[in-house]
Structure 1
Amino acid sequence: MKVTLDINDNKAAAFLNFVKSLDFIHIQTQDDYQEPTKKEILESINQGMKEVQLHKEGKKELQSAKDFLNEL
C-alpha cells in the first residue's frame, strides 16, 4: 500500500526519524523516481493496443471510463 502524507515542516524531521525506525516501511524520495524509458513507454502503448484489439474481437471486456474514474 502506498500512502502520501502532508506533514508540517516543523514536525517532519521527528516523524521521519520515527518512520525510519520501522523495518516494514520504505521511504521513497523524489530522487528515487526514475522516468520510464522510451522502450517501457512503447511497450505500455503496445500492450494497450493489444487490449483494444482483443476488445474489438469480443475476447476481452474493458472497464468503462465511468468505472475507471470512480476508482480514483
Structure 2
Amino acid sequence: MKEKTAVVGGTVEAIMHHLAPAPKPSLARFNGVKIFASWQSGLETLSDHGQSKLHLQLAPSGHGQSQGSN
C-alpha cells in the first residue's frame, strides 16, 4: 500500500507542477529581518474559488557580508 501511495503522491506533484505556476519570491524587511515571501496558488475549490498560500522564509543572515551592501 505504501508503494501505491508514493506513486499517487508523485503523480499529484507532477500534475500540480503543470497546473500551478512557480512562485515568484520577493524580499521584504521587517524590523531589520529579511524575509522572502511568495504566493503559491493551488487548485480551485468546488465553488470556483482559487486557493492560495503565502509562503514566508527567513533570508540568510549574511554575517560574513558587509553591512553596506543594501
Q: With the length of structure 2 as denominator, give the TM-score of the two structures.
A: 0.28
Report the structure number with the largest CA radius of gyration. 1
Higher strand share: 2
Q: With the length of structure 1 as denominator, give the TM-score of the two structures.
A: 0.28
Q: Greater relative contact order (Cα 8 A, min sep 6): structure 1 or 2?
A: 2
Higher helix share: 1
